[in-house]
Amino acid sequence: MKLYDTPLAPNPRRVRWLMAEKGIEDIEVVSLNLMEGQHKTPDYLRKAGLANVPMLELDDGTCITESVAICRYLESRYPEPNLFGRSPEETAVIEMWMRRGEMLVSLPFMNMVRHSHPAMAALESQSPEMAERSLKGGLGGLKVLDRRLADHEWLAADRLTIADIVTFSGLDFGRMVKFKPPEDLPNVVRWADAMRERPAAQAGMPKRAA
């Protein structure tokens, strides 16, 4: 199998994080340069159907895009540690918080960066108003998370799950514009610190200059 990836983007990071948590090391990672349009070549588009990363190419030639779909496939192939739920009830709660985290936090902060970071102008028709609205929406979403995390160590279960990975990957993308969770949301700050401390948080991430 091959995972077509790009280092800084949050959606591919979800897959790399899951792979690191599960110790998956038998998938070749192919890094694409989005700024050079390597995700828009005829060969890549023929496989992926869209100019999206990540993409997982299976041994039989099947190609899967959408990060959560890739993660679900890998969960079925490498079931431990479990990240999607062990019972119907737990699976539903994890799905609920994954969707909440994605819609209320991850997507707003991803849009904030895409519409405000100068380097993203090569990929996005930027709108300062969109960046401001996205920041406001993301901060509102963090308040929802802070209430949840007041009496839960992790978002959806008694352990880290895909809900935490999806939510944090988008939130942490805000580092591109030096965003940090506000100190008046102490439960989010505690959770975010715990996420950054996990070895898997560094999976495939470029090393920062000292």
Q: Which domains does the chain have, with CATH numbers?
A: 2-77 (3.40.30.10), 88-202 (1.20.1050.10)
| pLDDT value, residue 206 | 59
- What is the chain's pLDDT, residue by residue, as a tens digit (210 residues)? 999 999 889 999 999 999 999 999 999 999 999 989 999 999 999 999 999 999 999 999 999 999 999 999 999 999 999 999 999 999 999 999 999 999 999 999 999 999 999 888 888 888 999 999 999 999 999 999 999 999 999 999 999 999 999 999 999 999 999 999 999 999 999 999 999 999 999 886 655 533
Q: CB within 8 A of 128, min separation 6: which ones?
A: 115, 116
**Total-model pTM:** 0.93
For residue 120, give Cα distances in angstroms to 33, 65, 160, 177.
13, 22, 31, 11
Confidence (pLDDT) at 210: 35
pLDDT at residue number 8: 84
Cα 13 to Cα 120: distance, rounded to the nearest angstrom? 17
Residue 123 confidence (pLDDT):
81
Q: What is the pLDDT of residue 119?
A: 85
Q: Which amino acid is at 42?
A: P
Q: Give the DSSP letter string of 145-181.
A: HHHHHTS-SSSSSSS--HHHHHHHHHHHGGGGGT---
- Segment (H or E) for 134: helix 128-149
Q: What is the pLDDT of residue 143?
A: 98
Q: pLDDT at position 42, please?
A: 96
